[in-house]
Amino acid sequence: PSQFAVFGHPIAHSLSPRIHQAFARQCDIALEYRTIDAAPVDFAAAVHGFFAAGGAGANVTLPHKGAAFALAGERSEAATRAGTANVLSRLPDGRLAAHNTDGAGLVRDLTERHRVDLRGHDALMLGAGGAARAVAWSLLDAGVQTLTIVNRTPETADALADAIGEPARVHTRYWDDLANLGSYDLIVNATSAGVLGGGLKLPMSLVGARALCYDLAYGAAAIDFVAWAKAAKARYAWDGLGMLVEQAAEAFELWHGRRPDTEPVYQALRAAV
Ligand code: ATR
């Protein structure tokens, strides 16, 4: 069977092997999918070793998404915009192609699983790092009317807004001003505060009457933000488990040319996580 893997550090608790194996069973495809723990200094060598030994494709997660983008010989538009990659594929000539399926995964989770029409939404994005860059363009492409980016370090928010280059739709504001910004229809937590265990102190005034609050992280890392959104009476408060499954489905389709049915896999993980 063909060989797949997810690279990360740490990686032991990754759900990706389980997701891809479930998709493969659905589609009657034989594959092996394992986790590879590589420290940052060893990442490039580990990736090249994996593909040299016949690896067909790899997922990449923290902290390697930037390095995965950098080592690829070819890059998709989504990866180029993000400056990061969560998927590596082997090209026929042996070089590696970098993709980023996180933005497409988020939009699919919102619009197909949750049936939300993003058109006309005024969106607030908390954070401007790799995760934010991976989803910002996708939200705009999905019809979000305005996107306000707020980051603890304002220069990074400005750099992302400049990279998007749509000054009529994309604005930046200061983190210290969050209490004065009014309310939003969509609030995306793209900070790593939950992953790092630091709490965000967010004003409830951000949450509009029909607001959808979404944390790109899932499980324990999303608990604080989801609890804040519920306390602020958000209409919806979701973690990123659906996005995780959908970004995997996008990768699966790139590798196998087949689109799996994500719903049973999502439901099984939701019951387990
Ligand atoms: P990721 O790949 O998860 O996006 P990253 O590129 O390191 O990781 O970006 C982390 C993001 O979370 C950044 O926007 C960071 O803000 P800074 O640019 O100011 O560092 C944000 N972040 C992390 N911890 C935070 C905290 N406690 N409060 C606010 N923002 C935080």
- Could you give the domains of the chain? 2-100+243-272 (3.40.50.10860), 104-239 (3.40.50.720)
Side chain identity, residue 56: A
Nearest CA to ligand 1 atom 26: 193
Q: Are 185 and 209 in contact (CB under 8 A)?
A: no
Atom of ligand 1 nearest to the CA of 153: 19
Atom of ligand 1 nearest to the CA of 217: 3
Q: How far is CA 66 from the centre of its chain?
A: 13
Helix (H, G, I), strand (E, B), or coil: what is residue 74?
strand
Percent residues over pLDDT 90 in the chain: 97
Give CA separation, 137 vs 10, 126, 203, 258, in Å.
28, 15, 26, 25
Residue 84 CA, ligand 1 centroid: distance in Å: 15
Global pTM reads 0.97
Residues 133, 204: Cα–Cα separation, whole Å: 25
Most informative mutation of 84, 100, 152 for ligand 1 (most atoms within 8 A of CB)? 152
ipTM value of the model?
0.98
Mark whether 201 is an active-site residue: no
CB contact set of 32 (below 8 Å; sequence gap of 6+): 1, 2, 3, 4
Calculate Rg over the CA atoms of the chain: 18
Residue 150 CA, ligand 1 centroid: distance in Å: 11
How would you write the pLDDT of the chain (273 residues) with one tens digit per residue?
999 999 999 999 999 999 999 999 999 999 999 999 999 999 999 999 999 999 999 999 999 999 999 999 999 999 999 999 999 999 999 999 999 999 999 999 999 999 999 999 999 999 999 999 999 999 999 999 999 999 999 999 999 999 999 999 999 999 999 999 999 999 999 999 987 777 799 999 999 999 999 999 999 999 999 999 999 999 999 999 999 999 999 999 999 999 999 999 999 999 998
